[in-house]
Amino acid sequence: ITTPSTTGTSDEALSISDADADAVINLDHGDPTMFEPFWKNAGDKSTVVIPGWHTMSYFSDTSNLCWFLEPDFANQVRRLHRIVGNAVTHAHHIIVGVGSTQLIHALLFALSATDTHHPVSVVSAAPFYSMYPGITDFLKSGLFRWAGDATSFKVNGSSSFIEIVCSPNNPDGTLRRAVLSTEAGKLVHDLAYYWPQYTPMRGPADEDIMLFTVSKATGHAGTRIGWALVRDADVARRMVKFIEMNSIGVSKDSQVRAARILQVISDGYELPDPDSTTRFFHFSRRLLADRWQRLRRAVEESGRFSLPQFSSEFCEFTKEHAETYPAFAWLRCVDESIEDCEGFFKSVKVLTRSGRHFGAGPEYIRISMLDRAHNFDLFVERIASLGLG
């Protein structure tokens, strides 16, 4: 079958064959390959060539607290935040990491006390990003341990905590604030999805500790680069210590590439005559809007599932009212004959992640909205075929 595009956009060509009708569709991971067409189109502008004698030293800038941070990468990070208006950077140290995953490890170390026998409790409000428990407990550290849902955590005088606040939240796309009082604990704001393709910009975030990653900002998950904006110099120093012990710094080659990628996005907005092919966030937002529209229609027609609703808000970046288009669909099986939503989708060859991994129930699943067009189209077709009628 060949299905024509329903929206008139030519960015995502739809073509579904008979073999596809039986294919396994893996939407378990949030692999951001949907952004590839933009970067294909960007061509040479986004290509980086590194001569054999470049980036050989361990060191990038020994005058910087984060001595392995490439100055050009740091400049492009500050520039992009200024253009987008999603975070203040002037009072913060930038710490680069092997993805924001390494930075979460570094933060758990940096924020816990080494002179106590009581591990600090790490919490996040459910549904929380499914990797937080694993990242916290994988090495069975004596410094910190996962303590689950922040909303049911009892703060008591003697014990401290670290609350990870993910906003917009993975998996359900909601905007979040800390649920615990900060006096007894420390907050980490994971802002991986606070970019204009996913959500309206409500002004610059100005938290003590903020995490970002190229994985979700630009789609370059394979470059493995994230950054933390950290106000307190002692916390920043301890993170640097952790990264020294863990990987003696962060690939300069990757930072050089990430710097170029961020530069292309910023240039697309600041150089003369921006258009839909140079404006990354506008391009990506349009694709996500189209996907969400098609998914909502298929879900509605099925009568068996539901999706979260979001109200539109003014976006300070685009200067217009904008909808929320999360990177994941947090789908609920409302059909009571389905007890295990993940199992049900698996039986029709769609791989998703059960709500159980996020501190929620088996009636929920998380579905990636960021896969390649072909996979996503197959998924929408398949969900449309699951209707009650």
Find the shortest distance in angstroms from Cβ 171 to ligand PMP. 9
CB of 124 to ligand PMP, least distance (A): 10
And the tokens for 89? Answer: 């950077």
CB 79 within 8 A of CB 315: no
Among 30, 119, 196, 355, binds ligand PMP (CB under 6 A): 30
Cis amide bond preceding 127, omega within 30: yes
Residue (7 or 101) nearer to ligand PMP, CB? 101
Nearer to ligand PMP, 76 or 215 (CB): 215
What's the CA gap between 163 and 148, in Å, rounded?
10
Residue pair 143/114 in contact by the 8 Å Cβ criterion:
yes
Q: Check: CB of residue 189 under 8 Å from CB of residue 87.
A: no
Identify whether the C-beta of residue 256 lies closer than 8 Å to the C-beta of residue 72: yes
Q: Is 226 one of the binding residues for ligand PMP (CB under 6 A)?
A: yes
Residue 11 or 190 having the CB closest to ligand PMP: 190
- Decide: helix, strand or coil at residue 384: helix
Which is closer to ligand PMP, CB of 30 or CB of 200? Answer: 30
For strands 25-26 and 350-351, give the pairing.
parallel
CB of 21 to ligand PMP, least distance (A): 29
Q: Where are the alpha helices (DSSP H) in 19-158?
A: 36-42, 71-84, 99-111, 131-137
129 binds ligand PMP (CB under 6 A): yes
215 binds ligand PMP (CB under 6 A): yes
Nearest CB to ligand PMP, comparing residues 317 and 358: 358
Q: Smaller CB distance to ligand PMP: residue 89 or 213?
A: 213
- Separation of alpha carbons 388 and 359, rounded Å: 29
Residue pair 268/280 in contact (Cβ under 8 Å)? The answer is: yes
Is residue 266 near ligand PMP by the rule CB under 6 A?
Answer: no
* Alpha carbons 100 and 227: distance in angstroms, whole number: 6
Binding mask 99-118 for ligand PMP (x = CB under 6 A): xxx-----------------
Secondary structure (3-state) at 53: coil
**Among 213, 251, 284, 352, interactor with ligand PMP by CB under 6 A:** 213
CB 150 → ligand PMP: shortest distance, Å? 15
The least distance separating ligand PMP from the CB of residue 185, rounded to whole angstroms, comes to: 19
Binding-residue total with ligand PMP (CB under 6 A): 13
Nearer to ligand PMP, 94 or 221 (CB): 221
Which token pair is 64? 């910087």
Residue ranges that bind ligand PMP, judged by CB under 6 A: 30, 99-101, 129, 166, 170, 190, 192, 213, 215, 221, 226
